[in-house]
Amino acid sequence: MIWYKRSIQERFNPLGAKMGRGSPVCQQIREKIIEMFKNNVPQRKIGRDLDISHSTVHNMIKRFKESGGISVRKGQGRKPKLNNRDVRSLRRHCIKNRHSSISDITTWAQDYFGKPLSSTTIRSYIHKCQLKLYCAKRKPYVNSVQKRRRLLWARRHLGWTITQWKRVLWSDESVFQVFFGRNGRRVLRTKEEKDHPDCYQQQVQKPGSVMVWGCVSDLGKGNLHFCEGTINAEKYIEILEHNMLPSRRHLFQGRPCIFQQDNAKPHSAHITK
């Protein structure tokens, strides 16, 4: 039978602290060593009882005799590439240039700090800045005029009651792209099945799309109209006559309502109004 000596990482002391190579002895073990030393317990017996090496016990007692304390000395180790001031500068640059890539930030950091920094190092410091790369959410562009109009609209309707909101008939158009057989980027297959038709990620050059118009209110859904071609003012008026008016009669039963639409050009055209 062959016996293997346990590594230091696998050894546990009786007090429950895990001992690892290069890791400092916990405060409880250090206090126990000094207590046993004051009780005239031999150093080798202290090491056997606490399951730690004799050299560790010797160094701990020697340090206690010289300084009178048992605090852990600061390890020398490898000095960090960037100090606290540099890290703050890196964080400001990342926040100012949120859409920059890691390679661009690394190039800037090398020129700004004058140090040979790698992309892995920059990633580590960005993580220390509590920043992380995410996929940006897609939002439609809104200019300053649109923002001001939206704010004014929100302020005008800030005091509306639930009863008033129930009288609104909301409408809008939307374009949906139709994908035929588009699967995910990953597939479960063997090494030999890479050319199997079921394992392809099928795509089309120009996916088909369809535009629909619909309306909805608190009382339910209105008609859903599939639009053909580009929507202009004349086509939009036909949509309102054949879909919005019947939906209003069906949902509100002759009661007054407010028709709400956005400021798209076919909506705001003079002939439409």
Residue 184: the pLDDT is 59
**Cα dihedral 87/90/91/95 (nearest 10):** 180
Chain centroid to CA 34: how far?
49
Residue 215: the pLDDT is 95
Average pLDDT over residues 105-119: 93
Residue 12: the pLDDT is 42
Average pLDDT over residues 109-133: 92
Residue 17: the pLDDT is 46
Residue 73: the pLDDT is 64
pTM value is: 0.51
Residue 189: the pLDDT is 77
Residue 50: the pLDDT is 86
Please state which of the ranges 52-56, 102-106, 149-153 shows the lowest mean pLDDT.
Answer: 52-56
pLDDT of 1 higher than 90: no
Residue 183: the pLDDT is 55
Residue 93: the pLDDT is 93
Backbone φ and ψ of 25, nearest 5°: -75, 140
For 140-157, what is each residue's pLDDT tens digit? 888 999 999 999 999 999
How confident is the prediction for the chain on average, in pLDDT? Answer: 84
Banded pLDDT at 185 (limits 50, 70, 90): low
Residue 181: the pLDDT is 54
Rounded CA separation 267/78 (Å): 66
* Joined tokens for residue 14: 């009786």
Residue 91: the pLDDT is 92
* Joined tokens for residue 124: 């580590």
Greater model confidence, 74 or 247: 247
Greater model confidence, 12 or 213: 213
Rounded CA separation 172/174 (Å): 7
Q: Which DSSP symbol is given to 244? A: I
Residue 61: the pLDDT is 86
Rounded CA separation 272/232 (Å): 10
- Asked whether the CA dihedral 45, 51, 54, 58 is positive or negative, the reply is negative
Rounded CA separation 117/86 (Å): 12
pLDDT of 198 higher than 80: no
Strands 208-217 and 168-178: antiparallel
Rounded CA separation 69/124 (Å): 35
Percentage of the chain with pLDDT > 70? 86
pLDDT of 207 higher than 90: no
